[in-house]
Structure 1
Amino acid sequence: MLYIVIPVFNRLAYTRACLDALRQQTHQSFRTIIVDDGSTDGTAAVLAAEYPEVTVLPGTGSLFWTAGVNLGLQHALDQGADWLMTMNNDVVPYPDFVAQMMQAANSRPPALYGAFELDARTQEPIYAGGWLNWRTGSFRRLLDEVPADQRRGQRPTEYLPGRGLLIPRVVFERIGLFAAELLPHYYADYDFTHQARLAGFEVYLNFDARLGTYPDESGDQKNRQQRTLRNYYQHLFSIRGGANLRDFTQFARRNCPPRDLPLCLLTGYSRRLVGYFLR
């Protein structure tokens, strides 16, 4: 059985759209878990009244992404889940999303699969995995290497985000849950997929499994919309800051080859300190 785990904090309209899209899936052999981390916009009441099929786990109000996901994953594992998927509430899975994921999952030995992300408003491709160059801190995108007419099936990749990430149970049995203490919000998904690769699991981007996303809705994108000194500080040091220097350091120390670590940290810090003003 597949369990889909979605951590939420407010943004009820997005949660509704995501759950409505899951109700429209052509493959319905899955269960949904919402981890509601203290929402104040009526999320709990709406879920109880309108989505009785969803299991709702209350959070402490300070879980952030990683601990929230882990709470749902552990519950699913305790229920005997064979496959688990992490998903954000601000995504809209296409009707055959789950079917395409499970078809890929049954096509080879246990592996991890990520979604092909498209802008939910424009349908333009947004993300499809890739490879990180530790020395330069640059990211080689699969989208830049696979022509539009060849974007189908599964392609090997190195890192995947937690938006629609399908994971077999055996991965958790081998490497544990996401690293919540080290990486409470950002980088935890990239860290997990890299740790899974180090443990011997293959990682694929599934071009057939499409997910609508809202690229401007992340907390860090909102920091960038108004470039003030306060937002710059949030960008670098807040838990929800996309360039969080502490979390980047933890991520690099856990995953970067030791010989490349000094240069990785130097280039990584430089990109984060200056990049805020360049984009």
Structure 2
Amino acid sequence: MISIIIPVHNRLEYTRQCLACLAVQTYRNFQIIVVDDGSTDGTDIMINQEFPDVVVLRGDGNLWWTEATNWGIRYAQQHQNKQDANFILTLNDDTRVEPDYLQTMIDAYREHKPCLVGSVSVNSENPEKLEYAGSEFELYTAGGRHLAEDYNYSYKELVSRKTYVESGSLPGRGTLIPLDTFDHIGLYDSKRFMHYMSDIEFSVRAHKAGYKLIVNVPSLVYEYTEATGIQVERKITLKEFIKGFTSIKSPTNLRVRYNFAIAHSKTKVIYFCCDVGRICAGFLLRKIKLMKPL
């Protein structure tokens, strides 16, 4: 049984589209758990009317991604048949998938187990544009990179060269996790990583515990990039960039980055300083590039 956990908040149309994709999956041994964290746009009513088999857990607006996901995991732990092979699939509502998506994820797990299986993501508006295909990750000087650049950010090129990619971390946007993994290493850390980086931190923890991190090329997620939080790689102002250091919705939140450095880095504060330096340098380089005449 796959328990698909989808945290949502006031994005009714994205949620509807995501659930519609899941309703037509060829692999049928799954349940959907939507954690509606205080939506006021009628999301819960829509789900009850259009997708009555979906389990809806209601929060008060203070769960954010991490604790909302933990709510779903706890529900699955309490309700899944212990005799079955059980999994958690974390998924965001601003995504859509093909009808064979769940089957490709299960097939990849069977081939590579014990492992966590991540998804390739492409831009929903331009499906040829590869957004994510794994990452390199090192824990000394905050080095690393997105492996999509190895394939020129082209999904066609990735498909022509690979069936899977081994990664240093995995995002929560389409990751299949054996349920007993949470018994071994615990849930997502909602105290230190309320919204961003809890998925990365969890996957790094799993990797340290001996699980391979696999990005399965046939498991494709179409990502609505404009629907995410503060995006440091788009054109943002200096004021927006600085705001990102303290915003819960920002992947560059300094407290979150510091917590990750202390929890997992070999060099602790040195890693954190290198990480912040890399973020600032990236912002400046993008600004300089925009200033260059065509």
> What is the TM-score of this pair, normalised by structure 1?
0.92
State the 1:204 CA deviation.
0.5
Kept in 1: contact 2:139–2:264 (CA 8 A): no
Helix, strand or coil: the match of 1:219?
Answer: coil
Structure 1 residue 129 and structure 2 residue 134: aligned?
yes
Structure 1 residue 74 and structure 2 residue 74: aligned?
yes
Q: Measure the CA separation in 1 of the matches of 2:284 and 2:147.
A: 26
Kept in 2: contact 1:223–1:234 (CA 8 A): no
Q: Measure the CA separation in 2 of the matches of 1:139 and 1:149.
A: 23
Q: Measure the CA separation in 1 of the matches of 2:72 and 2:284.
A: 37
Alignment deviations for residues 178-214 of structure 1 (CA, whole Å, 9 cap, x no partner):
0011100111011000000111111101111001001
Structure 1 residue 169 and structure 2 residue 179: aligned?
yes
Gaps of 5+ in 1: none
Kept in 1: contact 2:232–2:283 (CA 8 A): no
**Which residue identity is paired with 1:83?**
F
Identify the residue that residue 110 of structure 1 maps to in structure 2. Answer: 114
Most deviating of 23-32 and 245-254: 23-32
Identify the residue that residue 290 of structure 2 maps to in structure 1. Answer: none
Paired residues in the alignment total: 276
Following superposition of structure 1 onto structure 2, how do residues 193-212 of structure 1 map, counting pairs within 5 Å? 193-212=203-222
Alignment deviations for residues 95-145 of structure 1 (CA, whole Å, 9 cap, x no partner):
211110011122243310000101111101110111123344332333233
Structure 1 residue 24 and structure 2 residue 24: aligned?
yes
Helix, strand or coil: the match of 2:217?
Answer: strand
Identify the residue that residue 254 of structure 1 maps to in structure 2. Answer: 263
CA separation of 1:151 and 1:62: change in aligned 2, threshold 3 A: farther
Q: Measure the CA separation in 2 of the matches of 1:277 and 1:19.
A: 40
State the 1:29 CA deviation.
1.5
> What is the TM-score of this pair, normalised by structure 2?
0.88
Identify the residue that residue 271 of structure 1 maps to in structure 2. Answer: 278
Give identity over the alignment, percent. Answer: 33
Identify the residue that residue 150 of structure 2 maps to in structure 1. Answer: 145
Structure 1 residue 54 and structure 2 residue 54: aligned?
yes
Gaps of 5+ in 2: 152-156, 287-294
State the 1:39 CA deviation.
0.5
Kept in 2: contact 1:3–1:83 (CA 8 A): yes
Kept in 2: contact 1:7–1:35 (CA 8 A): yes
Q: Let me know the Cα RMSD of the aligned residues.
A: 1.9
Alignment deviations for residues 147-181 of structure 1 (CA, whole Å, 9 cap, x no partner):
53445422221101000110001211100100011
Kept in 2: contact 1:151–1:207 (CA 8 A): no
State the 1:79 CA deviation.
1.0
Most deviating of 99-108 and 143-152: 143-152
Kept in 2: contact 1:224–1:276 (CA 8 A): no
Q: Measure the CA separation in 2 of the matches of 1:29 and 1:18.
A: 18
Helix, strand or coil: the match of 1:161?
Answer: coil
